[in-house]
Structure 1
Amino acid sequence: MRLLRPWVLATALGLFGTLSASAQTPSQDLAELDRLQTLSQRNSAETVQALQAAAPRFARAAHVDTRRTYYAALADAAFETGQAPVVTDAIAQLKALASTSNDMSSQVLAAAFEARQLAVAGKTRAGLAALAQVAAGAETVGDPWVRWLYHLTLGALHSGNGQFEEALAQLLRSLELSRTLPRQAATAELRSRTHLELLHFDMKNPERALQTIREALPLAEKLDARQALGWLHLHRGNVENVQGDLDTAIAAYRQALQIARAGGLAGLQATALNNLGDVLLQRKAYAEAEPVMREALAAYRDAHELNGAALAQANLGFALMGQGRIAAGVHEVEAGIRFVHEAGSLPMEEQLLGELSRMYEQAGLYREAMATTRKQQALAKELFHTERDQAVATLQERFDSAERQRQIDQLAQANRVQDAELRVRRMQQIGLAAAVALALVAAGASFWLYRRTRTANEALAAARGQAESALTEKNMFLATASHDLRQPVHAMSLMVEAISLRNTDPLLRPLVADLRASMQAMSQLFNALLDLSRLESGQPLGHKTAVDLGALLADVVRLFREQASLGGLTLRLRLPRRGATVWAEPVLLRQALANLVQNAIRYTPQGKVLVSARARGGGWLVEVRDTGIGIAPADQARVFSPYYRGSRADQMDDAGHGLGLAVVARCAEQLGAAYGVHSLAGRGSRFWLRLPTHVATDAGAPTVSAAAHHQAVASRPLQGHCLVLDDDPQVLKAWRAMLEAWGVTAAYATTGAEAHGRLDEGLVPDAIFCDQRLRSGESGFDILRTLLARCPSARGAMVSGEFDAPALRDAEDEGYLVLRKPVNPAELHAVLVQWLAHGKSQREPHPVPFQ
């Protein structure tokens, strides 16, 4: 049951009345074409008939601009009515006109319509290739409308292919060009704005999409653009559907359907029917959904929109399965899946497989559900690895670019300094050989040399500043990327925890375990990126203190014992009989040890991993030994470098990203600890850290294992009330699923006003969680303080993907708890156990630091 992404290239290519005519084009021809094209916004079917009847007048006109305008208007109106043969013939005529008259504008128009044809047939990549062939010509044509059309069409296809950054650039360019058109600029601006709101929706920003729709609707009504109004109402229904207001979505879809039927808009009619049926499927009204989906399928096929037909066919199959007609339903769904697979739309195929698995489970066919789920997981893993490799390649490219620029600047500065030194020596020799009569000249030369040297020093300082700026920018990029990626990972981790708590099917437990392991791997990658950027920028991560090395190692081994067991490995820990206490920063030391153990498990396909600590030379030597693939001698000197992977890493299924050991090296340097590796290829490796010892004082205390504490409290029942403030709908869904699974009653809000509204409705929360970064521009910390001022008996915490924001430092300085994304469900459970238990007994004033 998938909400169809509506194909709105109709709104991109519509109203060709803005085509500029040259001085030779008769004004009466253009005036009549303008009238017919304006009619197409109210009734496209009537427009096609009128244009075909006027063919003797316009198709045989002497002027190229008149014929080009005619064929473009005919193709646009025929697209909306689903008359594919008329569109194909118009494209052929435009190509012939471009060839016989050497008219680049006709060639660009033909390519745009052809790209649109390919896209509705599910061949978006081929459409982008067709547009690329005329890219140079599109920028050289004198008609600004043709350039506007080219950028708008290109942006629409990029959006449909999931390339949102490129799509946004092209659509903004089209919006800029629309304001320069000599005629019908308002209509062109309406089309650009319509595509922008659809892009906002695709980019998971429904609030911004809804705002853009509200801005575009008055303009569409003023122009009486019925076609644009229909698409805008349909888009509004999509936004309301995503936000959970199904009644409002149904009303919007019906408005769009009414406009489509009145104007003969086949594509809009098919899309509205499909989306209306999708809402019925969400409500499990399968019998009502079946005839709607059959009508949508027929409408798509009549309009020759094969991509939409495949999705409608899959939705029809879900409606049949929901009524118990399993065989017939599966046949329809698999036909739709085959089409999107052949079209190369892997994300869409993955979503359809997920829906099919849920329908199998609903029907009690667990074996089929398991098989379909495994296909979905394999495809999701393929998509994840592809996106991960692309992200790492982008990071590596930017990092290498900054490094190359820094080396070039350093080399240039060294050359400038050497030139200055040579000039100094030359002037000194001249000064020694000169007579007293040349004293004034020598003095002048010395002054010039001083100025030259000072300039060289200033250039050296500027080069050093540029190098430091490049390093800072790289660190800022890593930190920002980590923050942006933490948001979906945060939501996914909470959802996985909720799924694990609710699952009672023993067949699904291995799948849930695999999903949790994948989430842990993603979190470790993001944490490694952020830790590396913070360490390289010199930011301290904490303060040194006495650390119980044995307790810390036991905690780390406990963390990875299950992962090692699943991989068929033996993970052992060997500690000295007497206690071992070192002087270190706990966070850095834990990170370094965790990365070493994870690295050993990753590169050991079979055998064992041994973690040990022993006294050596007044300190403690920590070793992690494995029986894995080992490291070649040529690679051992570079294993601690960022993004470096050994020559044998490709042999492993999960060889990491080359960041784990780089973080170990940076941690060890800040701890003041020695580190190294000894390895034999094919026989295993030994990584080691040498840490300074600490003589225990009366205040010394062993380190408490956080993981053990969380494991102990995770089984306690929860009962109480929470208020959660976050502007991301997916994150709120994840909070809801997890808190309900724990038995916590919660209310949710996306803005400060909504949160205060929950209190006005009578909510008395025991705990309040506020996200720091809100799209409304409000400060999450300021909102938290105002909420706690109204609820003095509650406790509150900030939730953020950032680590060093001023607002977070202020919160921690004032004693508030700050949770970093992705939030560990066990840690969150421990917090709620303490806070909700406290809320039952007594209320304390705020702020209350978490202990």
Structure 2
Amino acid sequence: MRLVRAVVLVAALCLQTALPAGAQVPNPDLAELDRLQTLSQRNSAEAVQALQAAATRFANAADVATRRTYLAALTDAAFETGQAAVVTEGIAQLKALAAAHGDASTQVLATCFEARQWAVAGKTRAGLDALAREAGAAEQVPDPWVRWLYHLTLGALHSSNGQFEAAMTHLLRSLELSRTLPRQAATSELRSRTHLELLHFDMKNPDRALQTIRETLPLAEKLGAQQALGWLHLHRGNVENVQGNLDTAAAAYRQSLQIARAGGLTGLQATALNNLGDVLLQRKAYAAAEPVMREALAAYRDAHELNGAAMAQANLGFALMGQGRIAAGVHEVEAGIRFVHEAGSLPMEEQLLGELSRMYEQAGLYREAMATTRKQQALAKELFHTERDQAVAALQERFDSAERQRQIEQLAQANRVQDAELRVRRMQQIGLAATVALALLAAGASYWQYRRTRTANAALAAARRQAESALAEKNLFLATASHDLRQPVHAMSLMVEAISLRNGDPVLRPLVADLRNSMQAMNQLFNALLDLARLESGLPLGAKGVVDLNALLADVVRLFREQASLGGLALRLWVPRGGATVWAEPVLLRQALANLVQNAIRYTPQGKVLVSVRARGSDWLVEVRDTGVGITVADQYRVFSPYYRGERADQMNDAGHGLGLAVVARCAEQMGATHGLVSQAGRGSCFWLRLPAHTAAATTTAVPPDPVALHRDETAMRPLQGRCLVLDDDRQVIKAWRAMLEAWGVTAAYATTTAEAHAQLDEGFEPDAIFCDQRLHTGESGFDVLRALLARCPAARGAMVSGEHNAPALQDAEDEGYLVLRKPVSPVELHAVLAQWLGPQKNQSKQPSALYQ
């Protein structure tokens, strides 16, 4: 009898242990709250009314989890209906509940909703700071739904603040948590997916955003989640808008607006109205846009979304300006700009300034347009520096992962040695075992250690694959950023040159010169980042050959002679009369020598820079000496590291970004050359490269001269005569081309699609030169389009224009002898090409052209 009782008792204990926490007694209150939270996804206004009517039942429940869940559901639904007073009261009750019971889950919930409220009011930075203070508590709370909401809120705020890498990390974590929730798993996954596709759109990846929308819509329709469907249709409209499909975008916005009005979703309604009005502004239907923008402004104010209200107010001002009511429109726009400036939303402020400048220009107020453009460019420069610092920090973390990878490989090697030692030890233990029992025990212990080592090795291999994936992601990020950022810089460089040619006001000349210098600095940074990434990944930049060192150095010195002269420096070159040839990769060698000369000029406030070549045994020694600030002994071993800048760098006007010498070191490593420096603080520096000599002068690889430098020496940018056809699907770039070519006197036709380009030819336009962009939104190959256009115009010359550097299509174009211009195209380089093509030879048949890098 006692044995039976004992068995029953043990079974009961095992059953109790096997049940999950909270599952022993079902909670009917939590089940009802789950139903109301699901209702909130279908109709938020109805859910708020039902939750308020059930306040007596849930707000005073004895169970803290029930009260916490009720307040969270009510506050969340009130956000969507724009009931700010209900949101504020809900946050206050959550804080009071957390303080009364010392409940960490409730405190984290209150912080999440408060951070969201701050973000809606334009104080995203304050919301992020509050969430950061709760990071430790959020990971320790027992309620997985609270952890999910924390990561979802943090990801959404990072995304709106432009911190895309952090946003991706937290949104993916929220998606992972949503699939493990005991309650609300499907609706939570839907919300995580919705924020994730918005992040893809913010990261300027419309194709990935559209794919995520298509994958998420079936889940939203299955759940009947009208709130999520409304946002998904709105985001689909944003993607179509960016891709130029205004009719499709407007239809999506109207569908979203219909859902918002039916469900009482004030915030969604305001956003849909604002975006619909934006489509009307793009079509210059200003009278039709005005009432839509006024309705959007009222809806934003009802929802207490001050950031959105500022944008709607600015758009209302643009609608008024478009109707000729300039003073009233400017008043509304400036009010919106003041708010976003005080809120610290610099990207939105820069966007509004750009739109205001274009409206001034459209109204014929060119002086006001110029003043607004100056403000926008100053803000854009500030934004660039901020984003550059963030990108550099992220990239530095990526480079640190390479060091961790080397440590992982060392640990893997040590484990392999340990694995071999364990196998030998096991054999010794088996051979020396006195009895079968001892032999089996030794074998079992050895096998356990062997499996443990195998598991550790597998984990290390996985870590290595993750590090390699991170390196590949870094290279992909740099390649994408290079293309996307070169596009606006390309347009700006042409526009600034056009402004310079038209400018007759001596007061503006220094400002235009400063703009040109800023764009050159941006282009140098892009090139250095891209070259360093390709070198770090081991990708070769060219094939080795015999290079005429005298000719190459003369070309490099010619390139920087004007920069040195403007800085008051004497730039000298000394090369042996008998010539000097080396075995190296021409592209890498040119890059390394150019970076050394530029570095010497940059850190020499006054004095001279000497470039020389001397024989050293069977090698040639290239030295770049300067009389500049010099480098301390403590800093000399670090100057070839990426992103390192010495203590005196901050005192220089143009101290660079710490990438030039790192590229020199990587180039030398790939060429098999040695490099180094000798320096004394305050006395100057001498950087050197030592390369193997080559005596077979007959096989010397020709080093093409820099076309920009040659053209600058030979001729000024005089007026031109001729006809050009330009094909580019970016309308801002087309405007820049138009401004530049008109300033030079060139007659030009412009097209944004292949069909428009052929239509220009059908109408009788006969171009002497054709410039075609490589990456077209239609998916067509720019190279194929260029060949088709040239087939119709056999007397014309043609060139590819691209922000990419190593696309297969560009390689094919160069192999066939076509000219390839890399964005941002230098106005001097473009003028040099046109001066050759539109000169006396313009009617001759097309010949293969030299490649311009």
**Structure 2 counterpart SS, 1:654:** coil
Q: In the aligned structure 1, how far is the partner of 2:786 from the partner of 2:361?
A: 43
User: Contact conserved, 1:489 with 1:519, CA < 8 A, in 2?
Assistant: no
Cα deviation, residue 791, structure 1: 8.6
- In the other structure, the counterpart of 1:446 is none
Q: In the aligned structure 2, how far is the partner of 1:638 from the partner of 1:173?
A: 37
Using a 3 Å threshold, how does the CA distance of structure 1 residues 818 and 355 change in structure 2: closer, same or farther?
A: same
Using a 3 Å threshold, how does the CA distance of structure 1 residues 694 and 533 change in structure 2: closer, same or farther?
A: farther
Residue identity matched to 2:153 = T
- In the other structure, the counterpart of 2:158 is 158
Cα deviation, residue 99, structure 1: 4.3
- In the other structure, the counterpart of 2:27 is 25
Using a 3 Å threshold, how does the CA distance of structure 1 residues 300 and 556 change in structure 2: closer, same or farther?
A: same
Q: In the aligned structure 1, how far is the partner of 2:246 from the partner of 2:683?
A: 61
Using a 3 Å threshold, how does the CA distance of structure 1 residues 801 and 78 change in structure 2: closer, same or farther?
A: same
Residue identity matched to 1:547 = D
- In the other structure, the counterpart of 2:494 is 498
User: Contact conserved, 1:800 with 1:818, CA < 8 A, in 2?
Assistant: no
Query: Aligned-residue CA RMSD in angstroms?
Result: 5.2
Q: In the aligned structure 1, how far is the partner of 2:522 from the partner of 2:555?
A: 21
135-144 or 371-380, which deviates more: 135-144
Match runs of 1:645-794 below 5 Å: 645-664=645-664, 667=667, 681-685=681-685, 687=687, 704-708=705-709, 719=723, 734=733, 737-738=736-737, 742=741
Cα deviation, residue 114, structure 1: 2.0
Using a 3 Å threshold, how does the CA distance of structure 1 residues 811 and 287 change in structure 2: closer, same or farther?
A: closer
Residue identity matched to 1:76 = D
- In the other structure, the counterpart of 1:249 is 249
User: Contact conserved, 2:158 with 2:166, CA < 8 A, in 1?
Assistant: yes
User: Contact conserved, 1:811 with 1:818, CA < 8 A, in 2?
Assistant: no
**Structure 1 counterpart SS, 2:653:** coil
Cα deviation, residue 199, structure 1: 1.3
**Structure 1 counterpart SS, 2:307:** helix
Q: In the aligned structure 1, how far is the partner of 2:90 from the partner of 2:410?
A: 60
User: Contact conserved, 2:545 with 2:700, CA < 8 A, in 1?
Assistant: no
Q: In the aligned structure 2, how far is the partner of 1:797 from the partner of 1:320?
A: 41
Q: In the aligned structure 2, how far is the partner of 1:196 from the partner of 1:75?
A: 22
Cα deviation, residue 204, structure 1: 0.7
User: Contact conserved, 1:582 with 1:694, CA < 8 A, in 2?
Assistant: yes
Residue identity matched to 2:494 = A
Cα deviation, residue 202, structure 1: 0.8
Using a 3 Å threshold, how does the CA distance of structure 1 residues 184 and 476 change in structure 2: closer, same or farther?
A: closer
Using a 3 Å threshold, how does the CA distance of structure 1 residues 254 and 798 change in structure 2: closer, same or farther?
A: closer
Q: Does 1:202 align with 2:202?
A: yes
571-580 or 322-331, which deviates more: 571-580
Cα deviation, residue 355, structure 1: 3.3
Q: In the aligned structure 1, how far is the partner of 2:721 from the partner of 2:190?
A: 55
Match runs of 1:422-461 below 5 Å: none
Cα deviation, residue 821, structure 1: 5.2
User: Contact conserved, 1:792 with 1:843, CA < 8 A, in 2?
Assistant: no
User: Contact conserved, 1:44 with 1:263, CA < 8 A, in 2?
Assistant: yes
Q: In the aligned structure 2, how far is the partner of 1:253 from the partner of 1:468?
A: 46
User: Contact conserved, 1:151 with 1:171, CA < 8 A, in 2?
Assistant: yes
* 1:204-231 Cα distance to aligned partner (Å, 9 max, x none): 1122223333444444445443333332
Q: In the aligned structure 2, how far is the partner of 1:280 from the partner of 1:339?
A: 24
Q: In the aligned structure 1, how far is the partner of 2:289 from the partner of 2:140?
A: 50
Using a 3 Å threshold, how does the CA distance of structure 1 residues 469 and 560 change in structure 2: closer, same or farther?
A: farther
Q: In the aligned structure 1, how far is the partner of 2:777 from the partner of 2:168?
A: 19
Cα deviation, residue 194, structure 1: 1.9
Cα deviation, residue 588, structure 1: 3.7
- In the other structure, the counterpart of 1:542 is 543
* 1:531-557 Cα distance to aligned partner (Å, 9 max, x none): 4566674947333335372x5445434
Q: In the aligned structure 1, how far is the partner of 2:469 from the partner of 2:198?
A: 32
Match runs of 1:458-469 below 5 Å: none
**Structure 2 counterpart SS, 1:545:** strand
- In the other structure, the counterpart of 1:391 is 391
- In the other structure, the counterpart of 1:55 is 55
Match runs of 1:193-342 below 5 Å: 193-323=193-323, 328-342=328-342
Q: In the aligned structure 1, how far is the partner of 2:414 from the partner of 2:635?
A: 31
Q: In the aligned structure 2, how far is the partner of 1:340 from the partner of 1:475?
A: 37
Match runs of 1:394-433 below 5 Å: 394-400=394-400, 402-403=402-403, 406=406
Q: In the aligned structure 2, how far is the partner of 1:792 from the partner of 1:251?
A: 40
Residue identity matched to 1:236 = R
**Structure 1 counterpart SS, 2:548:** strand
Q: In the aligned structure 1, how far is the partner of 2:472 from the partner of 2:224?
A: 48
Using a 3 Å threshold, how does the CA distance of structure 1 residues 155 and 769 change in structure 2: closer, same or farther?
A: same
Using a 3 Å threshold, how does the CA distance of structure 1 residues 666 and 818 change in structure 2: closer, same or farther?
A: farther
User: Contact conserved, 2:353 with 2:373, CA < 8 A, in 1?
Assistant: yes
Q: In the aligned structure 2, how far is the partner of 1:161 from the partner of 1:578?
A: 59
Using a 3 Å threshold, how does the CA distance of structure 1 residues 253 and 473 change in structure 2: closer, same or farther?
A: closer
* 1:597-621 Cα distance to aligned partner (Å, 9 max, x none): 311231233x354455577789987
Match runs of 1:50-199 below 5 Å: 50-100=50-100, 103-139=103-139, 143-181=143-181, 185-199=185-199
Cα deviation, residue 656, structure 1: 1.9
Cα deviation, residue 120, structure 1: 0.8
Using a 3 Å threshold, how does the CA distance of structure 1 residues 693 and 187 change in structure 2: closer, same or farther?
A: closer
Using a 3 Å threshold, how does the CA distance of structure 1 residues 723 and 673 change in structure 2: closer, same or farther?
A: same
User: Contact conserved, 2:494 with 2:737, CA < 8 A, in 1?
Assistant: yes
User: Contact conserved, 1:784 with 1:796, CA < 8 A, in 2?
Assistant: no
**Structure 2 counterpart SS, 1:648:** helix
- In the other structure, the counterpart of 1:445 is none
Q: In the aligned structure 1, how far is the partner of 2:247 from the partner of 2:810?
A: 44
Q: Does 1:348 align with 2:344?
A: no
**Structure 1 counterpart SS, 2:647:** coil
Q: In the aligned structure 2, how far is the partner of 1:313 from the partner of 1:90?
A: 29
User: Contact conserved, 1:475 with 1:534, CA < 8 A, in 2?
Assistant: no
652-661 or 733-742, which deviates more: 733-742
Cα deviation, residue 198, structure 1: 1.2
Count of matched residue pairs:
771
- In the other structure, the counterpart of 2:436 is none
Residue identity matched to 1:392 = V
User: Contact conserved, 1:798 with 1:817, CA < 8 A, in 2?
Assistant: no
- In the other structure, the counterpart of 2:12 is none
Using a 3 Å threshold, how does the CA distance of structure 1 residues 376 and 493 change in structure 2: closer, same or farther?
A: closer
Residue identity matched to 2:148 = W
* 1:454-494 Cα distance to aligned partner (Å, 9 max, x none): xxxxxxxx9xx999999999986775554233212431343
* 1:511-538 Cα distance to aligned partner (Å, 9 max, x none): 5543443333333334334545666749
Q: In the aligned structure 1, how far is the partner of 2:851 from the partner of 2:358?
A: 41
Cα deviation, residue 572, structure 1: 4.3
- In the other structure, the counterpart of 2:442 is none
Residue identity matched to 1:255 = Q
Residue identity matched to 2:128 = L
Q: In the aligned structure 1, how far is the partner of 2:810 from the partner of 2:275?
A: 46
Using a 3 Å threshold, how does the CA distance of structure 1 residues 210 and 484 change in structure 2: closer, same or farther?
A: closer
Cα deviation, residue 201, structure 1: 1.1
Residue identity matched to 1:92 = A
Q: In the aligned structure 1, how far is the partner of 2:364 from the partner of 2:738?
A: 28
Q: In the aligned structure 1, how far is the partner of 2:699 from the partner of 2:102?
A: 92
Cα deviation, residue 318, structure 1: 3.7
Match runs of 1:805-820 below 5 Å: 811=812, 815=816, 819=820
- In the other structure, the counterpart of 2:481 is 485
Q: In the aligned structure 2, how far is the partner of 1:570 from the partner of 1:236?
A: 57
- In the other structure, the counterpart of 1:569 is 568
Using a 3 Å threshold, how does the CA distance of structure 1 residues 613 and 323 change in structure 2: closer, same or farther?
A: same
Identity %: 65
Which sections of structure 1, spanning at least 5 residues, go unmatched?
A: 1-19, 421-461, 750-754
Cα deviation, residue 495, structure 1: 1.4
Q: In the aligned structure 2, how far is the partner of 1:813 from the partner of 1:365?
A: 45
470-479 or 324-333, which deviates more: 470-479
